[in-house]
Amino acid sequence: EALKNDYAALKMEEETGIKKKMGWTLMNIGVVNNHMANYDEALKNYSAAIKAHREQSDSNGMASAMVNIAAIYRVRGNYPAALKNYYDALKIYEKTGNRNYLANVYTGIATVEWSINNYPEALKNNLKALQLAKEIGAKNLTGTILLNMGGIYNKMGNDSAAIRCFGEAEGIYSSAG
């Protein structure tokens, strides 16, 4: 049903020439396909969304589509393609200055680096994300980053740092209720 409605909206936008929202409609279609594990179709939707956002000079829309593409590549184990898309999005978000999006992209990069056992790079990106998450008061994101860092430290055999991160995350989550 969601896809049917999104495709109807897309058709209407194409027919009327109102292209301002097309990128976001294509993103919605990509999200539905992604949730249904139709990854190839989602990648097509997100790529089309990038093009539509570019035509509308919507940098945040382009970067958002890139992050979604990166996430699919990460799930599929195509880590070089995931990193490329995360770094392309990162360049855009650095220009727009959206610290929330920056924190999420750094977290995505760190997750890929962790997946390929590049622990120093994973920690470096998690630290950047952590700083931003704390600055903007994103408690859940802060807790998630700390848990990720604890897992990385654990893999590295640094038990004291892992315990410190896990403890700090626990404190954040227990104070959040």
pTM: 0.88
| Cα radius of gyration rounded to whole Å, the chain | 18
Does the pLDDT value for residue 143 go beyond 70?
A: yes
Could you tell me the pLDDT band of residue 9, with boundaries at 50, 70 and 90?
low
| pLDDT given at position 24 | 83
Does the pLDDT value for residue 7 go beyond 90?
A: no
| pLDDT given at position 27 | 87
Secondary structure (DSSP) of 57-69: T-HHHHHHHHHHH
Which one is predicted more confidently, 6 or 164?
A: 164
- pLDDT tens digits for 47-106? 999 999 999 999 999 999 999 999 999 999 999 999 999 999 999 999 999 999 999 999
| pLDDT given at position 2 | 63
Write the CA distances from 148 to 46, 105, 123, 134, integer angstroms. 27, 14, 9, 15
- pLDDT tens digits for 100-139? 999 999 999 999 999 999 999 999 999 999 999 999 999 9
Which one is predicted more confidently, 167 or 18?
A: 167
Secondary structure (DSSP) of the chain: -HHHHHHHHHHHHHHHT--TTHHHHHHHHHHHHHHTT-HHHHHHHHHHHHHHHHHTT-HHHHHHHHHHHHHHHHHHT-HHHHHHHHHHHHHHHHHHT-HHHHHHHHHHHHHHHHHTT-HHHHHHHHHHHHHHHHHHT-HHHHHHHHHHHHHHHHHHT-HHHHHHHHHHHHHHHHHH-
Mean pLDDT, range 36-48, rounded to an integer = 95
Mean pLDDT, range 142-159, rounded to an integer = 97
Could you tell me the pLDDT band of residue 11, with boundaries at 50, 70 and 90?
low
- Alpha carbon distance 150, 135 (integer Å): 20
